[in-house]
Amino acid sequence: MTSHLYRDRDYVFGEAMLALRVKIGLTQAGLADILDISRRSVVGWETGNSYPKTESLKKLLAFAIKQHAFPAGKEADKIRAFWQIAHQKVLIDEDWLTGLLPHTTPIRVEQTAEIISHTAQLASGSVIEGPRVDWSDALAVPGFYGREWELNLLIGWILEERCRVVSIVGLGGIGKSALSVNVMHQVASNFEVVIWRSLRDAPPCEVLFEDLAQALLPQAQAELNANVERPQKILLKELRRHRVLLVLDNLETILEEGALEGHILAEYDTFRQFLRQLAESEHQSCVVLTSREKLVDLVPVEGNGAPVRALRLARLSADACIKLLTERQLRGSIENQMHLIDAYAGNPLALRIVAQTISDLFGGEIAAFLDQGGIIFGDVRALLDEQFAKGDIEHDRPPCRYGFHRPNCPLPSIHWSC
């Protein structure tokens, strides 16, 4: 089902929606099945990127009533407040609400102030208990294919084995961020606070610490100053006091390039020490890192039985890649689809980029694209050049005729010389 889209994320509704699902006790997929919608729609609601249609909202609230998700005796007021922050184009149907709750009386004029008060409570997260979430610039992942084994493994590490630090490592475009977002949504209800931050723009160390400290402890903002040691101590203290899920995406932007692979830049040495402390000391929180390279400082404390783990993502499975191509409405035989998938080494980002090109320039026909004999388009070249610059290549093999090394050659099965 299509949702009402809007330009800016609605964190109030997103947090309330997540808290309601947690209270109901269903996964995103489970709730989607109940409401007869796609899981993609549920993700959009919880990330504040879309609102439910009226009929879906009615189904959701009716099911929530059956699951006793609202305080007894206050169901009607809570439902009205939830309806208001869901920004529906129509007012709530009081007859429907009365039928939903046989003992409910229609709203009176003097109840308006009370409903507004409940709406304010909902915005602060006090109406439905759940984790306090700060998605920040977390990705919306409308289409997520495959990775079931990896997803279950990471959830087990975080929830069952209580790992302190979990790293997701892999080439650019392989799906690290998308996987971490899905993991975050799956395990959020088990934490008191959930925070997502991207390091893509390489924020200065002191700015990063202050931002995280303020997200964890908003009331301490006045106490924070330019001294990097103070926010760091606040962070460590809160991560020990509370169960926090902290996701740090794109860690490679603060790593050394070249020979010092996996080493954090000198100007981020305080942050390096912070990660080591989190890995080596007892606490009840979990930090999830995504990076193209494994951190050298964490390798000594990693292990199968250790509270520090690392998962390296391989190529996306063939079935998942075919679903991705089908979603992009590409046409071709299984043989041609597999040819394209192998050509781009099962990299979902590269496949999405080239799929758009095939759709725009070849009418969605994979065979017509392959007949061109290895055309490399701008966005794909930029992605691959970036991998080359980061050292994600094999140096012991000659380049193909377009100057690329495996596995970054975009069409190795077509023009590889060996």
User: Is the model more confident about 267 or about 221?
Assistant: 267
Task: Assess whether pLDDT exceeds 70 at residue 392.
Answer: no
DSSP 370-409: HTTSS---HHHHHHHHHHHHTT-S-TTS---TTSPPTTT-
Task: Assess whether pLDDT exceeds 90 at residue 164.
Answer: yes
Q: pLDDT for 307-346, tens place per residue?
A: 999 999 999 899 889 988 988 889 989 998 998 898 888 8
Q: pLDDT for 19-57, tens place per residue?
A: 888 788 788 888 998 999 998 888 888 877 889 999 999
Closest CA to 361 of 392, 344, 353: 353
Q: pLDDT for 226-236, tens place per residue?
A: 444 577 888 88
Give percent above pLDDT 70 in the chain: 74
Strand 4-5 relative to strand 50-51, pairing: antiparallel
209-215 average pLDDT score: 85
Task: Assess whether pLDDT exceeds 70 at residue 361.
Answer: yes
In sequence order, what are the beta bridge partners of 189?
Answer: none
pLDDT of residue 227: 46
Q: Look over the chain and give the mean of its residue pLDDT values, rounded to a whole number.
A: 78
Q: What is the pTM of this model?
A: 0.63
Tell me the C-alpha to C-alpha distance, in Å, between residue 112 and each of 98, 127, 198. Answer: 17, 17, 41
Task: Assess whether pLDDT exceeds 80 at residue 292.
Answer: yes
Task: Assess whether pLDDT exceeds 80 at residue 18.
Answer: yes
Side chain identity at 222, as an amino acid letter? A
HSE-CB of 192 using CA atoms within 13 angstroms? 12
Q: Work out the widest C-alpha separation in the chain, in whole angstroms.
A: 80
Q: Buried b / exposed e across 30-39, counting CB within 10 Å, b at 16+?
A: ebbeebebbb
Split at pLDDT 50, 70, 90, the class of 415 is very low
